[in-house]
Amino acid sequence: MSAPEPCLVLDGSARAGVRVGVLSDGRWMGQGISSDGALEGLFGCVEAALAEAKLSLGDIRSFALCVGPGSVLGIRIASLAVRSWAALEPRPIFVWESLAAIARSALAAGEKGPFLVAAESRLKRWHALEVGADGTLGAPFEAEAAQLNASGLRVLASSEAAPAVLTSHVAVPPPWSALPTFFAQAGFLREESRPDALNVANDFATWSGERHRS
């Protein structure tokens, strides 16, 4: 499923910072990036991205939103924005998941499974997802750093906090630059008229990593 272009892409899922881009013809036509949270930075990023693309909000034909897992507040602020804009002028809304984007980016860069991808959660816990030996993606889960360390798998993450707590950490860049490619791939986007934050952390299934222990 592809999003009609130009598409306004919003990612408020990070613990700090927000990114907005205008996607058309498979590339970023304009971008807005802020180190502030979504509450302070989202709308300024939207204005910057539209200005660089030389477009107005009325020119946008669809929206794409990262639904996490990640910052619930940031995701919900971005979700409220796109739902409001789509209510004023009906346009489709598409969503993607943050850990799946990291995993696809790692696979595209030549990483071979099995491995884990991870992003900071709350209370020193981590959102994570396992990539199998055949490249298949598992379901997101939440775990302590010790559980990820005990899995025996490499843990790919872009968080600055990762090296200090994840013993098998592999640094990877955020997947933002690869999103135009992923948006064209089957199964990455799904249409969602009322998007919300994906699986609040305490709703995730537990995961132990037991099968990876020697």
Q: Are strands 125-131 and 141-144 parallel, antiparallel or unpaired?
A: antiparallel
**Total domains, the chain:** 2
Mean pLDDT computed over 86-114: 96
Q: Which of 70-74, 144-148, 196-200, 203-207 has the highest mean pLDDT?
A: 144-148
Residues near 102 by beta carbon (within 8 Å), at least 6 away in sequence: 117, 119, 129, 156, 157, 158, 172, 174, 175
Whether residue 86 is found in the same domain as residue 189? yes
Q: Which residue range(s) make up the domain with 129?
A: 99-173+204-212
Q: Calculate Rg over the CA atoms of the chain.
A: 17
Residue 1 covered by a domain: no
Confidence of residue 198 (pLDDT cuts 50, 70, 90): confident
| Residue 203: per-residue pLDDT | 46
Whether residue 103 is found in the same domain as residue 148? yes
Positions of E strands within the chain? 7-11, 18-24, 27-34, 62-66, 93-96, 115-120, 125-131, 141-144, 155-157, 169-171, 190-191
- For residue 113, give the CATH number of its domain: 3.30.420
| Residue 2: per-residue pLDDT | 84
SS3 state of residue 180 = helix
- For residue 62, give the CATH number of its domain: 3.30.420.40
Whether residue 87 is found in the same domain as residue 184? yes
Residue 85 covered by a domain: yes
* pLDDT tens figures, 124-163: 899 999 999 999 999 999 999 999 999 999 999 998 889 9
Whether residue 144 is found in the same domain as residue 80? no
Whether residue 86 is found in the same domain as residue 180? yes
Whether residue 167 is found in the same domain as residue 106? yes
Other Cβ atoms less than 10 A from the Cβ of 200: the count is 13
Contact 195, 93 (CB under 8 A): yes
Whether residue 189 is found in the same domain as residue 145? no
